[in-house]
Amino acid sequence: MSTNVELSSNERIFQARVDAEEKIEPKDWMPEKYRQNLIRQISQHAHSEVIGEQPEGNWITRAPTLERKAILMAKVQDEAGHGLYLYAAAETLGTTREEMIGRLHSGASKYASIFNYPSLTWADIGAIGWLVDSAAIVNQVSLQNTSYGPYARAMVRICKEESFHQRQGYNIMMTLMQGAQSQRAMAQDALNRWWWPSLMMFGPHDGESAHSAQSMKWKIKRRGNDELRQQFVDQAVQQALAIGLEVPDADLSWNESRGHDDFGDIDWQEFERVISGNGPCNRQRLAHHKRAHDEGAWVREAMAAHEAKHRHKTEDAA
Ligand code: 3HC
């Protein structure tokens, strides 16, 4: 991280704009590393939204009621839209959709670790909506104030839809907990499997984070990984207790002096396994994405041909 002495005049002007809470727009001067860091984070965010449709989409045909099916379809469609907003935001930085998808398929680009776990029962759909979307909301509300304009504006729009996602998931869990013993057991089993992977969503401890220090200086990140994780734990524990679920952490306890819940150690070896491609569903998720991408090639080709034809017509008319 450069000190002020080493910064060029452009970098000093840029940092002063960021410090003054100005939004950086696509045509503004920006350090190349700022641009690259944003392409990395925004494209991985977009990949996460799209890959995240798989575990939930897996249950659309098996939803227990027509209403639950309609709600789940709406949520999965929303996630596709979130991916589009974010790919579009990343494209304003000079990358292309093809480059981003290519990096996803080659493994050069990551997506959220959480989506590499299987959705085994209907209660998983409740746990994903409740926990994963809660975690996403905690993270994304903070990102509404990120320094890059297109990313911040995409976050404002996405956050509006996430609250519906979280509420429908929590409603599934609450309904199951008011049901038969087998339904309560299914909800508790889902919480047991999704709790710790949800805490991993916030990334490594800030002290081990490769990007946090610089991302905080450039106000790409507004709050650290650990601070966001703690907010998520504090709220989710209360929500679990409110419906009779037990959080699977023997070290969980309210710390009056901190004003937060103390919680146990995260299995960072599992985290590293999952983000390096060796989680329970990594291969399945990528194979599915590649297959869908290949099957959709004809749509992209037709759109490109239509656009070219329309462009020729416009040029001929000029
Ligand atoms: N899954 C996968 N990779 C992760 C990760 C996770 N949960 N947490 C961290 N990483 C990766 C980082 O990408 C980075 O690797 P890279 O250099 O190859 O990109 C490395 O681990 C070190 O982590 P850092 O904390 O240093 O990285 P960041 O500063 O980028 O912080 C982050 C990680 C907090 C996830 C940040 O990138 C971020 O806020 N991203 C935007 C939010 C996002 O992507 N959310 C994903 C979920 S989307 C979702 O849930 C959809 C919902 O609607 C269902």
For 294-307, the pLDDT digits (tens) are: 999 999 999 999 99
| Distance from the first to the final alpha carbon of the chain | 50
Q: What percentage of the chain has pLDDT greater than the value 90? A: 94
For 132-158, the pLDDT digits (tens) are: 999 999 999 999 999 999 999 999 999
For 146-201, the pLDDT digits (tens) are: 999 999 999 999 999 999 999 999 999 999 999 999 999 999 999 999 999 999 99
Distances (CA, A) of 276 to 82, 270, 279, 301: 24, 10, 8, 33
In this structure, the residue with its CA closest to atom 33 of ligand 1 is 203
Q: Is the CB of 42 under 6 A from ligand 1?
A: no
Distance 169 CA to ligand 1 centre (A): 22
Q: Is the CB of 139 under 6 A from ligand 1?
A: yes
In this structure, the residue with its CA closest to atom 43 of ligand 1 is 45
pLDDT bin (cut points 50, 70, 90) of residue 316 is: confident
Distance 104 CA to ligand 1 centre (A): 14
Question: Would you give the DSSP letter of residue 128?
Answer: I
Distances (CA, A) of 51 to 41, 112, 214, 224, 270: 15, 9, 28, 25, 20
Q: What percentage of the chain has pLDDT greater than the value 70? A: 98
The pTM score is: 0.95
Q: Is the CB of 229 under 6 A from ligand 1?
A: no
> What does the mean pLDDT of the chain come to?
96
Q: Is the CB of 247 under 6 A from ligand 1?
A: no
Q: Would the pLDDT of 268 be above 60?
A: yes
